[in-house]
Structure 1
Amino acid sequence: MAKTAFLGLGVMGFPMAGHLAAAGHQVTVFNRSPAKAEAWVGRHGGASAATPREAAQGADLVMCCVGNDDDLRQVCLGPDGAFAGMAQGAVFVDHTTVSAKVTEELAQAAAEAGIGYVDAPVSGGQAGAENGQLSIMCGGTVADFDRAAPVIDAYAKICRRMGDVGAGQMTKMCNQIAIAGLVQALSESLAFAQKAGLDVADVVEVISQGAAGSWQMVNRHATMHRGEFEHGFAVDWMRKDLAICLQAGDQLGAALPVTALVDQFYKDVQAMGGGRWDTSSLIARLTR
């Protein structure tokens, strides 16, 4: 069993850290809101720390799941950052979806400190985190990945090395690009069925068995039809991710016209007051 730290106890990090504890790993947690860290310890045991540096001291692996590039820099760098507390040879595992730029920057800082670095963004949403069924795409050296993967398995359905540092974030961009177009298409399909006077449940039962079927269709069609958008991953965060995708697309010369369009549709949802609605709320543009 590994000695670990987990930084960031949001809707994803809180259950992910819980799975580490349930698997028998020694876990110290840090959260910017100390009350959340205390609540986690009350539920799962382990310990909490006042700073990322204190949480990381003595840890074999330090996992992190925060909000964005700036949040990640804050927990990694500086006198109270995790890197300052990690011993040489320890491995930092970043589960945050961030830009390629900050991943390169922090991986370099880690290397200079003798620390391993694995970028390991996740897919599966809040339900995947709670059920320990996340898809985790990793970038890093083979040695660092091989050390991290058996511990990551506590909350993973699949955990795969995609290449060197940065490859995990690039793979996550592929994931978000695919989801954006899929959710918009599903929204249009369901809205069309409603306007045509069809029974939405019957439509989905039939078309989900063919080529149109998807996880989103099976798991979100009913709540989308009812206008319920409380499933965790918020529109605000999706727009942050899509901005990363579009920037990388420009740098790579990869055309992302559908992604750019759906990003603007999510902007419309934000203007409707839906910034904290989940990503399936694209249908609200078409039905409200």
Structure 2
Amino acid sequence: MTHTHAPHEGHHEHGRHQEHGADSGQAELLDLDADLLAEHIAAIAKWLPLKSGPRRIVDLASGTGAGTFALLERFPEAHVTAVDASSGHLQRLREKASARGVGEHVHTVPTDLDDAAWPDLGTPDLVWASASMHHMADPDHALRTVRDLLAPDGLLAVVELAGPPRFLPEDAPADRPGLEERVHAAADRLHAEHVPHRGADWGPMLTAAGFAVAGELTVAVDIDGSRNAAIGRYALGVLQRIRGAAAAELAAEDLTALDRLLDADGPHSILRRGDLAIRTERTVWAARRG
């Protein structure tokens, strides 16, 4: 089941269906991601090589609406169809749309994008797929389905992350320097089998699915977290999720050190650190029907 996009790997979020209890926790993390990286999402939306302002947009695996609201900010006359497997995330998206006064511009469709047949999503001028394509069981099928949906001059934007963000300095924590990289490496070994398209070059896959690539952009993210408590909460949430995937692969000393960081009330909690940052990259491929 293709699920909502998220800023990290580890539970796993959009590849497999969530239990309801985890859904709200993921939604909070998606909201933090949207708020903290809003400037970078806006930069991608501004860059899109569109021939005219889109009137009909589809946001695939929309989550709680990071892409939906960035696109409506950029294209206020547009109407967005937000598609996600999580009814809880779509409910949160609708509530946010209402609070922002754009409820009439947003339509939500609950669906599993791994299904062979998708519901009627109209004929969009723009399809936005952020951190979702690499979770598709059959990404070629998904890309060809999008190609058939698009208006003749329509654009597909595939936005992907270079893996989960990093937060700690390389020499942290003092007793286990380099811990974060080892945690990510352990999770990557497991995800290589289950999420083989993470980190892929989507250009050739777009071409094979009948698209012509119109542009590619990589946006570097490097945000100082020393004055923003939300970055600590974001780091805690991301690393808690990654721990679930990496724990069995970690040395006992690394797992102990990680758990000290993840103890929100402990003296070594990541929430108490003043040296955090958000470091990652996002790449977008823009493509039209070939």
Q: TM class by shorter-chain length?
A: 0.3 to 0.5
**Normalization by structure 2: what TM-score?**
0.38
Q: 1 or 2, which has the higher strand percentage?
A: 2
Instruction: Report 1 or 2 for greater relative contact order, CA contacts < 8 Å, sequence distance ≥ 6.
Output: 2
Normalising by the residue count of structure 1, what TM-score does the alignment of the two structures yield?
Answer: 0.38
Larger radius of gyration: 1
Greater share of residues in helix: 1
